[in-house]
Chain A
Amino acid sequence: MLIALIQGFPSDITVVKTACNISRQEKEKITLLYVIEIDRNYPVDQDVGIETDRAEEVLRDMEHLCKEQKVRLSGQILQARFKGAAVVSLADEQKAHYIIVGAEYDLRTEVANFGKTARYIMNHANCDFIVCQSSNLDEKG
């Protein structure tokens, strides 16, 4: 089992391609995970229609990309307070062997970087953790 975190950033394509490569080599099933972060002012199961629609759209695109690679996969949308903790707890729950996360893309500064999600997973994950950044910086979400 490997978990690929999809965030709607340009690096998603690299994340999915890397996940597919590992899946083919190790015969692992891929879980494409999209986490919607909910502010503490609202209940964690708050209905966030627009966010959910966007998550489904992004996951659909990534699933389509994976299908061309002929790998086993499933998509999952989670609502949580913090992406990093959600990924780590799902990985523990599903006994995942790998977590793959891409660089976060700052729309304001147009810079891709590894943010607090990657740092949290790096410090708390109990499995192999791979971070990847899109080599083509012109690929914008």
Chain B
Amino acid sequence: MTNAETGKETDNKPMARVKTPIYRSKRMVIFGCGIVGARLAVKLSEAGNLIKIIDDNSEAFKKLPVKRVEATSIVPILGDGTKENDLRKASAHECDVFLALTENTTVNLISAQIAMYNIRVPRVLCLVADEKLCDIYNELGLEVISPDSLMVGNLYDRVNE
């Protein structure tokens, strides 16, 4: 085969393609801008994800770094996460992961179930303070995070280091 412009013969071998890992930032919605929610939002946005954080208390958004909010890598949304309309305002219907991280387990559970069954978010995580209820919530099909079991796991790992 010859090159039309240069007239020189070209190699028939196909161009070697450089395989780079494809990274797509995830869209995440966090319900609850408490200490856990705010810190996680910052950490996830630093990792390149797009975060929307919903809370019914505007004062709670003061925990978020102003620069990240101005750069819209974290978008605070004032609303009630136990209401489907408010979750849709936070674009929960377009997100990849939904995290219910308020201090109230029942509120988390209501919100997580709306996200899971009504809005059909692909992945839903729910913070549950009472460990004895974790099995019950797991049976309801929710992915549950218990602070107690996380702490036990962490301490166990440290002891065994």
With A114-B82, A122-B106, A135-B141 as contacts: A21 and B114 at CB distance below 8 Å: no
A14 sits at the interface (CB 8 A): yes
Out of A18, A129, A130, A135, name the residue touching B117 (CB < 8 Å): A135
A39 sits at the interface (CB 8 A): no
A78 sits at the interface (CB 8 A): no
Minimum distance in angstroms from B116 CB to a CB of chain A: 8
Q: Let me know if B113 and A119 touch, CB within 8 A.
A: no
Residues of A within 8 A of B135 (CB): 25
Q: What interface size band does chain B fall in? A: 10 to 19
Task: Tell me the complex Cα distance, A130–B136, Å.
Answer: 9
As a 0/1 sequence over residues 87 to 109 of chain A, the CB contacts with chain B under 8 angstroms (1 = contact) are 00000000000000001000000
Q: Let me know if B133 and A128 touch, CB within 8 A.
A: yes
Task: Tell me the complex Cα distance, A18–B109, Å.
Answer: 14
With A113-B84, A118-B110, A122-B106 as contacts: A132 and B140 at CB distance below 8 Å: yes
Minimum distance in angstroms from A23 CB to a CB of chain B: 11
Q: Let me know if B110 and A131 touch, CB within 8 A.
A: yes
Task: Tell me the complex Cα distance, A22–B136, Å.
Answer: 7
Beta-carbon contacts under 8 Å, B82-137 to A: 82, 84, 104, 106-107, 109-110, 113-114, 117-118, 130, 133, 135-136
Q: Let me know if B118 and A113 touch, CB within 8 A.
A: yes
Residues of B within 8 A of A134 (CB): 117
Task: Tell me the complex Cα distance, A25–B140, Å.
Answer: 16
By beta carbon, the residue of chain A nearest B107 is A122
Task: Tell me the complex Cα distance, A135–B148, Å.
Answer: 27
By beta carbon, the residue of chain A nearest B85 is A113
A-B contact count (CB 8 A): 49
Residues of B within 8 A of A130 (CB): 106, 109, 133, 136
With A14-B140, A18-B136, A122-B107 as contacts: A132 and B118 at CB distance below 8 Å: no
Q: Let me know if B140 and A112 touch, CB within 8 A.
A: no
With A112-B117, A122-B106, A131-B106 as contacts: A18 and B82 at CB distance below 8 Å: no
A133 sits at the interface (CB 8 A): yes
By beta carbon, the residue of chain B nearest A134 is B117
A50 sits at the interface (CB 8 A): no
Number of interface residues of A (CB under 8 A): 22
Q: Let me know if B113 and A132 touch, CB within 8 A.
A: yes
A77 sits at the interface (CB 8 A): no
Task: Tell me the complex Cα distance, A137–B84, Å.
Answer: 16
Residues of A within 8 A of B140 (CB): 14, 18, 132-133, 135
With A133-B113, A137-B117 as contacts: A21 and B136 at CB distance below 8 Å: yes
Interfacial residues, chain B to chain A (CB-CB below 8 A): 82, 84, 104, 106-107, 109-110, 113-114, 117-118, 130, 133, 135-136, 139-141
The 7 lowest CB-CB distance pairs between A and B, nearest first, are A133-B113, A114-B110, A122-B106, A133-B117, A135-B141, A129-B106, A132-B140
